[in-house]
Structure 1
């Protein structure tokens, strides 16, 4: 299966300058020749998946910098922004935009960021949930101190999959004098977990699965034993709204709980040994698909990195209720809704089945990047078997060749399903699934011909 060519000269050049190393020194650590590195830096040779992994192993390197142009929609993204009437007198043509993107991608990204944030910045600042998400992404959803503390506690408790629940119950009883009691749904109709300090009880709903019970107990341990460390991280964030701090703190509690159940070193070794085989990992650690998906986005420990997965949780209307990008390059998930061509929607009709799909971002007819994505339903709070959400994870195709779920899937760029970031933000042409016109794009109304979509885009 052919890998998509990835040119990353500016990113590699900046890394070398940051480290203060010569091309020969960098090449030696990457186990390639200096002449090959020189060609990579000049964008005359693509960078291979093996070299990408060496960069991650040898340096504190963010793989997202290899795909800087994707965050702004490539040259088409610049074309849309420079079409603003405020730039009309400058006469900047497409060729100049392409040169800017190739020679100075960070400068292009800086312009795009300033342009995009100019209008909606004040609105975004008022959204505490969005503010919390931005802080999580600033950390790349990796909190090293919490991982270390969780690993040490897991070793102390001698956690293993066979007695996970028992070990968590014992910890609460011996350390905090709390017993665990499972109560009927009619007693706890609106609660998953309740702490009764008068009775010294942790009360859990009978509707919780075994994996969810374990997670709730681990979450309580995080609240009881890691409060100071979690509060310290949360206080370091510059939130203007206490609700944003509350969302962020809740995320950190869940992060520790997941790290306790899936300790970093043991979990990463299992991922690498199995080719990130999702069904095997679910069984081995006794977790739910959503818990596993969360954990896969956090594996960014320096010198011990996993693959850069993203994760989203989607409802039937295509709305994202959770988005964790971490170190992934998949900026197309930073939207409010998903593309109907993405198989996250098919998963709702095939409950419990893993939907594997190779997708690429289509920007006005030009494909950018490629990701192997895997989606599956997860049960909501209602009756057993009631599916309310789909959780999807994905990793860049150039890194996905050895994954267990990639077997039998062509990762050739031509075989990717093109998708967009939701109709209102998508400038893809000739899409029969389009239900809304794209923002910021002129429309063409043809009285003679009717196309496959009621929203025909003007050529300029």
Structure 2
């Protein structure tokens, strides 16, 4: 994918830090000084090819360019401006580009003020406590791709494959021989409300029999990650500079789980399987002995430089619409960032069709078209005593313009087919002709008429 971004601020800072003039850097990159000047003024985007040349010249992670852009660049500012408090302003993509080009320091000041408000709890969403919001921000800063963890997990996975074709057995043997940990599968009545327990005294990893095969393998991989990727995980947690202790523990848990998933679905092999199968989710589950949710999450992490997958986002929510996981990855989708969900989005319909993949083409207010897939999953190891089988909806999505390779999109006209209009939840949506509306948009003046009643119970000024 030929990805481009406006990163003039970061390029200029990189050049000045190296003590180079524009002429010197332009010569090193084999471009003209005038073209470099346009890049630094955000008059031209930074192409993927030029980004790689910069990375080779200065030996740094190219993701730092996007992260160092004022306010996190286009994606960072769009995420913040998706907050309902800005719903009545209607700032479009062009205005954000002009803002970054004309006043990068002003954009950075806005981003810092907004983030400080979030950290203080004044703008935290009702769905997310402050520590979770802080961890989400750090995950999205990396676009949920941690290259060092991926590389280490891939090397370890290749090593384990040499000893056994069965990953579960290979991990169990490594835990036994190298770390002196035994694996015990215990009856549900012994572990009625626990799916995993680490008994350090007995040197045992105890797992509930209620877990299916992929979940058991993940629990073994999780322990191995905690034992063999500890230094890398500690470095990432330390680098995040999270002052909140709870946020630190949440981020550590995410990174450990990330390594475990990368061990089960090694990057290069998984990406090849995605591309050769048309991102066939069922095939990927079978080939890598993984659950639907595990595969869905893994799809959001495929951002290796030079070997990127499609830019998926993922959401996990319950029947009440409460979100427990959200990963924007490289998608920068407002469907992920919104506090609310649109009832016209078929992620909710998936609960009426358990286990079935529901596909839908949707369009946001700004005209962006997205192809989405939704399916339910059962919570593993639910307590037998309560008789409650917890169910969640998993939504995957990417821009319609990228969805053509998907086997799930075959037969669908992604360009011209009618797309279902959706929004980021009623309080943040300003569509006027919506019979499904249950609340007026924030920041809009309601209008009343004794003579007529429209499709929506709420009529409002749309300017």
Determine if the TM-score, normalized by the shorter chain, exceeds 0.5: yes
Match of 1:327 in 2: 330
Match of 2:185 in 1: 182
Check 1:347–1:159 CA distance in 2 against 1; reply closer, same or farther (3 A cut): farther
Kindly indicate whether the alpha-carbon contact (under 8 Å) linking 1:204 and 1:213 is maintained by their aligned counterparts in 2: yes
Matches within 5 A, 1:277-288: 277-288=280-291
Q: Which has the higher contact order (CA 8 A, sep 6+)?
A: 1
State the 1:452 CA deviation: 2.1
Name the counterpart of 2:20: none
Residues 191-200 or 207-216, more deviating: 191-200
Displacement after TM superposition at 1:448 (Å): 1.8
* Structure 1 unpaired stretches of 5+: 1-7, 27-33, 35-40, 83-93
Alignment partner for residue 134 of structure 1, among 124, 131, 137? 137
Which range moves more in the overlay, 320-329 or 109-118? 109-118
Cα 1:296–1:385 change in 2 (3 A) is farther
Aligned mates of 2:429, 2:263 — CA distance in 1: 40
Q: Are 1:320 and 1:337, in contact at CA under 8 Å, matched by a contact in 2?
A: no
In the alignment, does 2:257 pair up with 1:254? yes
Q: Structure 1's 418 and 292: CA in aligned 2 closer, same or farther, altered over 3 A?
A: same
Aligned pair in 2 of structure 1 residues 111, 400: CA closer, same or farther (>3 Å)?
A: farther
1:352–1:376 contact (8 Å) kept in structure 2 = yes
1:154 touches 1:261 (CA, 8 Å); kept in 2? yes
Is the 8 Å Cα contact of residues 70 and 369 (structure 1) preserved in structure 2?
Answer: no
Which residue does 1:81 correspond to in 2? 89
How far does the alpha carbon of each residue in 1:229-270 deviate from its partner, in whole angstroms, 9 at most, with x for none?
211210111222100111111000100000111111111111
Distance across 1 between alignment mates of 2:412 and 2:422:
18
Rounded Cα–Cα distance in structure 1 between residues aligned with 2:190 and 2:164? 30
2:406: which partner in 1? Answer: 403
For 1:269, which of 272, 275, 293 is the aligned residue? Answer: 272
Following superposition, the deviation at residue 42 of structure 1 comes to 9.2
Distance 2:81 2:410 in 1: 30
Distance 1:54 1:404, change over 3 A: farther
Write the distance in 2 (CA, Å) between the matches of 1:419 and 1:329.
17
> Is the CA contact 1:361–1:420 (under 8 Å) kept in the aligned structure 2?
yes
* Residues 221 and 263 in structure 2, CA contact (< 8 A), matched pair in contact too: yes
Equivalent of 2:445 in 411, 421, 442: 442
Whole-angstrom distance in 1 between the partners of 2:301 and 2:162: 20
Q: 1:356 to 1:240 in 2, by over 3 A?
A: same
- 8 Å Cα contact 1:154-1:263 kept in structure 2: yes
Q: Which residue number corresponds to residue 22 of structure 2?
A: none
Alignment pair present for 1:453 and 2:453: no
Task: Find the aligned partners of 2:77 and 2:135 in 1 and give their Cα distance.
Answer: 25
SS in 1 for 2:375: strand
Query: Are the structure 2 counterparts of residues 224 and 14 from structure 1 closer, same or farther at C-alpha, using a change threshold of 3 Å?
Result: closer
Deviation for aligned residue 1:208: 0.5
The aligned residue for residue 58 of structure 2 is none
Residue 414 of structure 1 and its aligned partner are, at CA, apart by 5.5
Aligned to 1:221: 224
Q: Which residue of structure 2 lines up, in the alignment, with residue 212 of structure 1? A: 215
Following TM superposition, by how much is the alpha carbon of 1:197 offset from its aligned partner in structure 2, in angstroms?
2.3
CA distance in 1 between partners of 2:47 and 2:283 (Å): 26
Q: Which stretch has the larger CA shift, 221-230 or 151-160?
A: 151-160
8 Å Cα contact 2:4-2:47 kept in structure 1? no
Aligned CA distance change for structure 1 residues 253 and 79 (closer, same or farther; 3 Å): closer
Aligned partner of 1:370 in structure 2 is 369
C-alpha change, 1:302 and 1:458, in structure 2 (3 Å) is: same
Alpha carbons of structure 1 residues 313 and 454: separation in structure 2 relative to 1, 3 Å? same
Alignment TM-score, normalising by the size of structure 1: 0.79
**What is the aligned length?**
419
1:311 is matched with 314
**Conservation of the 8 A alpha-carbon contact between 2:87 and 2:442:** no
Q: Of residues 149, 154, 169 in structure 1, which corresponds to 2:152? A: 149
**Contact kept? 1:261, 1:285, Cα under 8 Å:** yes
Do the aligned partners of 2:181 and 2:204 also contact (CA within 8 Å) in 1?
Answer: yes
* CA–CA distance in structure 2, aligned partners of residues 202 and 118 of structure 1: 41
For 1:82-103, what per-residue CA distance to the aligned partner results, in whole angstroms no more than 9, with x for missing partners? 8xxxxxxxxxxx9xx8974564
- Give SS of 2:185's match: strand
Match of 1:355? 358
Q: CA deviation at 1:336?
A: 2.5
Question: Residues 218 and 195 (structure 1 numbering): CA distance in 2 closer, same or farther, change over 3 Å?
Answer: same
Higher mean C-alpha deviation, range 249-258 or range 216-225: 216-225
1:192 aligns with 2:190: no
Q: Distance in 2 between matches of 1:175 and 1:327?
A: 37
- Which residues of structure 2 form unaligned runs of 5+? 16-24, 36-41, 55-61, 67-71
Among candidates 120, 123, 146, match of residue 122 of structure 1: 120
The alignment partner of 1:323 has SS state of strand
